[in-house]
């Protein structure tokens, strides 16, 4: 099967923060890959705009190095070299101060009329408002313009509302693309295809047949390079409010009437609004201690008194007809034993077993794996082969279908590739709407308030050894319900 690449019309993309870490590691390599695949035409313009003093030639070098380091499967053959030359020719650079006057007139002169213009806000969130204001002042905020806003989108409901209001002064909702890169992952979209493109799963997708759902996003890294930001945020704000919440929405939502931005986002919003407040008993906060030869969190962030959590696990309930009675267990943390993210839909036991006790009891588990090795697997129970008695065994049914689809199809694009192309195509389905983000904060804020009264006196999270599966209390969160977390394993 040959993958279809539909080229997009030439566009202008301005990357504010074009010399930053995110631009270097993700945005620029993603653009290069789409260019090399033939999706971006060579009369497109990509303009870096940042405070750092450099000229276009220097930025082109910076970008070439970023591609070498971060564009996957960069091979160094002749075709690759030609593609790189073609790509860097599309690049321009402007020295610009987001909150001052420097560079804005020059930028306005470079950005063209009559084609899609996208402005990627890859700078610190405190500059988002200033960027929106300056774009308006310099005549670049018209109907053809789109803005792409990175996380974090606020640190609580009030700040997210404020940011939404600020952006809304110059851009309407249809122009605002709030990124959650988890939504750009191939497997996350495949989850929707599997749920809503097959008859097989949907009838079982409710509390009558699903015992519980668990979502794990485990990282092995600590707070490397982001200590200041992270120590003011913590796992609940940095991961739970956005990434895990989005995954929960896609798993739990009702079928939208159409796979289009507003029908999909309406259904996600209903899920968030149906979430019960999290009870303090159903919430575990942890902080990594030294272990495995690595420093502990407090040492890492240089704050010996830090009470910020680097791990959070919780049990959530969705109060609606579909899910009443099915708990959702969510956990995320840093410095855990493996880098592994997955959603597991654990189905109930059969109501009655016709087999002997020594056949064992078995369950179907649908696993949606986000990293590493994106893919979907269904655990089914079969007879253990052999002439002996009827013994049952669980085997995985691999639903990645790499063989059926061919290697090209199985070569998943990076989330940023898809999301940036969606911005250019004007498709907001995989981006968060303002009301969704606010609803997620409205649910997260009271949970945070259970430990943080705003007086800086939050109790210390439970320490867990680096390289472990998190605090023991997190295991107890499930064990007391007679359930177990799946092992964190890459």
Q: Which residue is nearest to ligand NAD (CB)?
A: 20
Q: In the structure encoding, which two tokens stand for residue 425, read together?
A: 């195509």
Select 38 or 225, whichever has its Cβ closest to ligand NAD: 225
Q: How far is the CB of 357 from ligand NAD (least distance, A)?
A: 51
Residue 79 sits at the vertex; the CA angle it makes with 76 and 85, to the nearest 5 degrees, is 85
1, 433, 429, 414: which is closest to 187 by C-alpha? 414
Q: Least distance (Å) from ligand NAD to the CB of residue 118?
A: 15
Round to whole Å and give the CA distance between 474 and 153: 28
Closest among 123, 157, 34, 44 to 90, alpha carbons compared: 44
Which CB atom, from 21 or from 487, has the smaller least distance to ligand NAD?
21
Sheet with 176-178, edge to edge strand ranges: 91-95, 45-50, 12-16, 117-121, 145-149, 176-178
Angstrom distance (rounded) from CA 5 to CA 274: 39
Nearest distance in Å: CB 20, ligand NAD: 2
Count of CB atoms situated within 10 Å of the CB of 201? 15
For 168, residues 6+ apart whose C-beta sits below 8 A from its C-beta are 434
**Which of 469, 460, 186 has its CA nearest to residue 340?**
469
Which chain residues interact with ligand NAD by CB under 6 A? 16-23, 50-52, 96-99, 122-125, 127, 150-152
Nearer to ligand NAD, 18 or 256 (CB): 18
Nearest distance from C-beta of residue 127 to ligand NAD, angstroms:
6
Q: What is the dihedral sign for C-alpha 177, 181, 183, 187? A: positive
Q: How far apart are the first and last CA of the chain?
A: 29
Q: What is the closest distance, in whole angstroms, from the C-beta atom of residue 302 to ligand NAD in the complex?
A: 18
The Cα–Cα gap between 399 and 366 comes to 10
- From the CB of 17, what's the least distance to ligand NAD, in Å? 3
Looking at the Cβ atoms of 59 and 451, the one nearer to ligand NAD is: 59
Which are the catalytic amino acids? 243
Helix (H) or strand (E) holding 177: strand 176-178
How many whole angstroms separate alpha carbon 288 and alpha carbon 371?
22
Is the Cβ of residue 135 or residue 275 nearer to ligand NAD in the bound state? 135
Q: Closest by alpha carbon to 107, among 135, 87, 127?
A: 135
Q: Are 71 and 32 in contact (CB under 8 A)?
A: yes
**Choice between 102 and 319, CB closer to ligand NAD:** 102
Nearest approach in angstroms of CB 158 to ligand NAD is 19
Report the candidate in 250, 233, 225 with the shortest Cα–Cα distance to residue 300. Answer: 225
Inter-residue contact 92 to 34 (CB < 8 Å): no
Residue 150: other Cβ atoms inside 10 A: 22
Residue with Cβ nearer ligand NAD (97 or 133):
97
């Amino acid at each position: 099967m040959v993958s279809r690449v539909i080229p997009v019309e030439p566009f202008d993309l301005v990357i504010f923060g074009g010399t930053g870490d995110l631009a270097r590691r993700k945005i620029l390599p993603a653009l290069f890959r789409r260019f090399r695949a033939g999706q971006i035409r060579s009369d497109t313009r990509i303009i870096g705009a940042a405070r750092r003093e450099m000229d276009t030639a220097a930025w082109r070098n910076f970008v070439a190095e970023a591609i070498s380091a971060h564009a996957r499967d960069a091979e160094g053959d002749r075709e690759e070299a030609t593609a790189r030359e073609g790509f860097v020719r599309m690049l321009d650079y402007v020295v610009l101060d987001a909150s001052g006057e420097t560079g804005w007139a020059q930028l306005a002169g470079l950005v063209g009329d009559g084609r899609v213009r996208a402005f990627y806000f890859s700078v610190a969130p405190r500059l988002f408002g200033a960027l929106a204001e300056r774009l308006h002042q310099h005549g670049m905020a018209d109907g053809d313009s789109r803005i792409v806003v990175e996380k974090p989108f606020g640190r609580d409901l009030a700040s997210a509302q404020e940011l939404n209001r600020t952006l809304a002064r110059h851009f309407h909702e249809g122009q605002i693309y709030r990124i959650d890169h988890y939504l750009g992952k191939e497997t996350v979209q495949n989850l929707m295809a599997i749920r809503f493109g097959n008859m097989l799963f949907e009838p079982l997708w409710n509390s009558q047949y699903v015992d519980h759902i668990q979502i794990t996003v485990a990282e092995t890294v600590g707070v490397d390079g982001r200590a200041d930001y992270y120590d003011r945020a913590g796992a609940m704000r940095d991961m739970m409010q956005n990434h895990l919440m989005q995954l929960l929405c896609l798993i739990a939502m009702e079928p939208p009437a159409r796979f289009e931005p507003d029908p999909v986002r309406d259904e996600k919003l209903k899920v968030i609004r149906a979430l019960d407040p999290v009870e303090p008993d159903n919430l575990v906060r942890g902080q990594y201690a030294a272990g495995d030869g690595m420093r502990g969190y407090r040492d890492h962030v240089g704050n010996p008194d830090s009470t910020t959590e680097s791990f959070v696990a919780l049990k959530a309930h969705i109060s609606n007809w579909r899910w009443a009675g099915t708990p959702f267990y969510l956990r995320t943390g840093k410095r855990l034993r493996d880098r592994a993210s997955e959603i597991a839909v654990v189905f109930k036991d059969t109501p009655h077993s016709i087999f002997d006790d020594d056949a064992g009891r078995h369950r179907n588990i649908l696993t949606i794996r986000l990293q590493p090795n994106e893919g979907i697997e269904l655990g089914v129970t079969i007879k253990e082969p052999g002439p002996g008695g009827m013994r049952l065994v669980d085997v995985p049914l691999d639903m990645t279908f790499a063989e059926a689809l061919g290697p090209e199809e199985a070569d998943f694009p990076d989330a940023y590739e898809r999301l940036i192309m969606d911005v250019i195509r004007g498709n907001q389905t995989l981006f968060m709407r303002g009301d969704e983000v606010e609803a997620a904060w409205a649910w997260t804020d009271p949970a945070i308030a259970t430990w943080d009264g705003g007086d800086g006196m939050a109790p210390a999270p439970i320490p867990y050894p680096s390289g472990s599966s998190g605090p023991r209390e997190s295991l107890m969160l499930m064990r007391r319900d007679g359930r177990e977390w799946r092992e964190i394993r890459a």
